[in-house]
A and B are shown apart, each in its own frame.
Chain A
């Protein structure tokens, strides 16, 4: 076992100590640097376990919190906010669909026998009806 492998085993999520792996234990017994590393790593892990700021909330904590409370959240406003993305998506889909359904000017020109789209647009035939 090389040093790299030994240190990976020591620091793995499974937390396999040297006792769990005889090969690792043999390596640590023969490599002073890895042994030092193992000791340091144990200190760090113990430090993480014990790192806790023990603080007891004083009697006025609840009062300080309630003094900062705003109006209660309105579930309808919350639901409306949640619906904003859905509304936007629906608008985009409907808008796209409308755009696709609108005939292109070129297709209109084809529909006219003489192809004079401008004349057709300018004519007040519809209004005369």
Chain B
């Protein structure tokens, strides 16, 4: 009986995934024809994913919302460049990553520390503030690569694919970013 149920589950799951993809393709095709309602369905399906990625880079809710909106507006404008070879989510993640980087570059100084709600570590209540101070002293590209590597846990290949940088470039940036962060930590400890 258990084996039968297992087979049944396996039989249903691919068809559900196929249905989901077919539905997504319909929404994309309709969006390309200018159907805003179909695009709204795409937004609803992926908004949580986009908010999560934007939340990796920005602490203020209004920044996260703004970048998420910018991601979907860019996706709407460039939807015809989506070739359909990779899942739509991958393409959208790439758009979101680039929007986040563009915003980081526009505003090289992160938000004022007093204006954001920082996490409080159980052992050290100042740890969150200290981390923000360190990140504020890094260049946007350094901040980006560290948050993607250590925060999101992406590989250098994934970062390269989603930022449009070469893999070598990502590795060099990661190496330099860590070296800068190391020096900053050392400076803090020497004080």
Residues of chain B contacted by A62 (CB below 8 angstroms): 40, 43-44, 47
User: Closest CB of chain B to A70's CB: distance in Å?
Assistant: 7
**When the two chains form the complex, which single residue of A36, A69, A75, A78 contacts B73, counting CB atoms closer than 8 Å?**
A69
The binding surface of chain B is classed by DSSP as helix
Number of interface residues of B (CB under 8 A): 57
How many Cβ-Cβ contacts under 8 Å join chain A to chain B? 122
Residues of chain B contacted by A44 (CB below 8 angstroms): 131, 134, 181, 185
User: Closest CB of chain B to A102's CB: distance in Å?
Assistant: 42
A44 to B34 Cα, complex, angstroms = 46
- The reply to whether A72 and B72 contact each other, CB–CB distance below 8 Å, is no
Q: Which residue of B lies closest to A74 (CB)?
A: B80
- The reply to whether B181 and A71 contact each other, CB–CB distance below 8 Å, is no
Q: Which residue of B lies closest to A63 (CB)?
A: B40
Query: Within 8 Å of chain B (Cβ to Cβ): is A86?
Result: no
**When the two chains form the complex, which single residue of B32, B64, B130, B174 contacts A53, counting CB atoms closer than 8 Å?**
B64
**When the two chains form the complex, which single residue of B51, B80, B178 contacts A55, counting CB atoms closer than 8 Å?**
B51
- The reply to whether B178 and A70 contact each other, CB–CB distance below 8 Å, is no
- The reply to whether B77 and A73 contact each other, CB–CB distance below 8 Å, is yes
User: Closest CB of chain B to A52's CB: distance in Å?
Assistant: 5
Query: Within 8 Å of chain B (Cβ to Cβ): is A43?
Result: yes
